[in-house]
A and B are shown apart, each in its own frame.
Chain A
């Protein structure tokens, strides 16, 4: 079996003491980041990227550390959802619907354990499925030429835009803004600069890390200054944490079903973990029917979205690793990690760098068990961390962002640019313009233009070439559907709002 020899290779790398320590450290940091209100997987990983690179870790080590943080933050997100009714990140939102009522009914400990186990089931299922599915998808990806890649990027923007916003025009605008920012700097193959306004600092373009840290982390500080961090008081008492075996047994099918659906949602480009938790919660709600009591604090309502979003987090790694197309904001950040490491995701990654791919998958399997231990028996430690007031936390995040970007580029200009992105991110959030398409545009703009130019050179300037192959045609149709369909479905698929006290 290919799979077993591959996994053996992976474990050979991941079981070295140094890599194991990195995985444990990453899981620990990730759970803290996820648990802190206002920090989630995307901004958590974002602020750590520059620091990680300044430490000079090699590719596998850096990847293991940062994906452990990613998985850990997905686990940890449920802690603030359940105890504070504040989701750290969008995927954790559905967990508040039953988790917070459960905590108010005095079952906070049960909710934390059930959701922790559900996270484990979802993440483990997704990691195994990733190991099975990714090599096959990588083989299909060999059939992709420049026209197909161009269509695939269009699909990623379309579905992400369709899902991410209530206003399609604003999602499209955000994507184009990102693509326009990516144009700045050296031209792809002609060797001169474009759209720099003669500014030398802009000659090699705007670093995507500067944009990501600005839009995700610095913007958060402005949001907290505006709200004065008022709504973070811990009003829930957490007693002794015991394992509610009966609830766990009763939710086994919920967890498995949700893991499966969540994984599929994660694999779809542009969909990601938010869709995964949303779909699984709605699915379980309709299976349970009116008497299921969803929304009043039932264990299935906690298990479903947590299994769903963790499975989706693993599923989102499939298109990211095999095609280089991220499925969500967080995987966009992970793509930035790969690009900074000079690793080109895609089918060739599986052939040329099996050590990276399988080392990563093995590390993720190990990380899951570490996270189960941290999030069930040791959960009380992380609950203490929720008591860090925002007035300490957010300045800390800002300073870490500054040091990270500064030690990476050593340029004042990049720091000022980062602040600027922070202000823009805050304003965009007020105006309901999603920032994830902007990031995706900055990340993919270069590749998208390259593929378009290749395709046109191959075809001698014939535009219809872009739609000529069956794969490309299907991708374009999916792109149009993915962008347009949510407009009509929105009436039926209304997202539940946060419960008010």
Chain B
């Protein structure tokens, strides 16, 4: 109920912004009758119509997880984003071991298997990617490699 309504309203607002921004695009000409603005306006209108239906006839509320699980999901998201930024400066091995270990711990909260999973995946995947598939990965931090 509530989730669908909120989401529907957000979509409507975004769609209005889309349409407004489409109006500032140049109009069509003889070689391109429609120009770049018409299709976005059609899409924006479609978004609004379907979102209005969702707002008016929402489904039952989805069973959102409890706070602890939300916390685990947020930690996973933050770790993944940090991993994305760590890949280049710190090389493949260390960031992958840490990120894979944390994710593993979030799925099954046992410390030792999670640490082993992280180390194992990091080394195993590196070998596969680097030597079997020939991708250009850097193993260690730039500073150490000179």
Q: Give the A interface residue count (CB, 8 A).
A: 62
Given contacts A55-B135, A188-B36, contact A431 B18 (CB under 8 A): no
Looking at A123-131, A285-293, A386-394, the stretch in contact with chain B turns out to be A386-394
Interface centre among B50, B63, B64, B113, by most A CB within 10 Å? Answer: B50
Bound-state CA distance A402–B122 (Å) is 12
Bound-state CA distance A407–B51 (Å) is 37
Is A453 touching B106 in the complex (CB atoms < 8 A)? no
Interface presence of B47 (CB below 8 A) = yes
Which single member of A51, A170, A449 contacts B39 (CB below 8 Å)?
A449
CB closest chain-B residue, reference A174: B50
Given contacts A176-B46, A394-B103, contact A183 B40 (CB under 8 A): yes
**Main secondary structure on B side of the interface with A:** helix
Contact mask for chain B residues 108-146; partner A; CB cutoff 8 A; 1 contact, 0 none: 111001100110111001000100011111000000000
Given contacts A180-B47, A391-B113, A394-B107, contact A423 B77 (CB under 8 A): yes
Which single member of A225, A226, A403 contacts B125 (CB below 8 Å)?
A403
CB closest chain-A residue, reference B64: A430
**B14: min CB distance to chain A, Å:** 8
Question: Which residues of chain A are near B83, meaning CB under 8 Å?
Answer: 402
Bound-state CA distance A218–B84 (Å) is 13
Interface centre among A389, A399, A453, by most B CB within 10 Å? Answer: A399
Question: Which residues of chain B are near A389, meaning CB under 8 Å?
Answer: 108
- Give residues of chain B (45-60) contacting chain A, Cβ–Cβ below 8 Å: 46-47, 49-51, 53-54, 57, 59
Bound-state CA distance A400–B51 (Å) is 35
Interface presence of A299 (CB below 8 A) = no
**Main secondary structure on A side of the interface with B:** helix
Is B33 touching A391 in the complex (CB atoms < 8 A)? no
Given contacts A392-B104, A412-B85, A431-B62, contact A222 B39 (CB under 8 A): no
Is A398 touching B33 in the complex (CB atoms < 8 A)? no
Question: Which residues of chain B are near A228, meaning CB under 8 Å?
Answer: 107-109
Contact mask for chain B residues 80-105; partner A; CB cutoff 8 A; 1 contact, 0 none: 11011101100010001001110111
Which single member of A170, A190, A407 contacts B35 (CB below 8 Å)?
A190
Given contacts A226-B65, A400-B125, contact A194 B25 (CB under 8 A): yes
29 A-B residue pairings within 8 Å (CB atoms): A51-B129, A170-B59, A172-B46, A172-B49, A173-B51, A176-B43, A176-B47, A188-B36, A190-B36, A192-B36, A194-B21, A195-B21, A218-B80, A392-B104, A392-B120, A395-B103, A395-B104, A395-B107, A396-B121, A398-B100, A402-B80, A402-B84, A412-B88, A419-B84, A432-B59, A453-B35, A456-B28, A457-B34, A461-B33
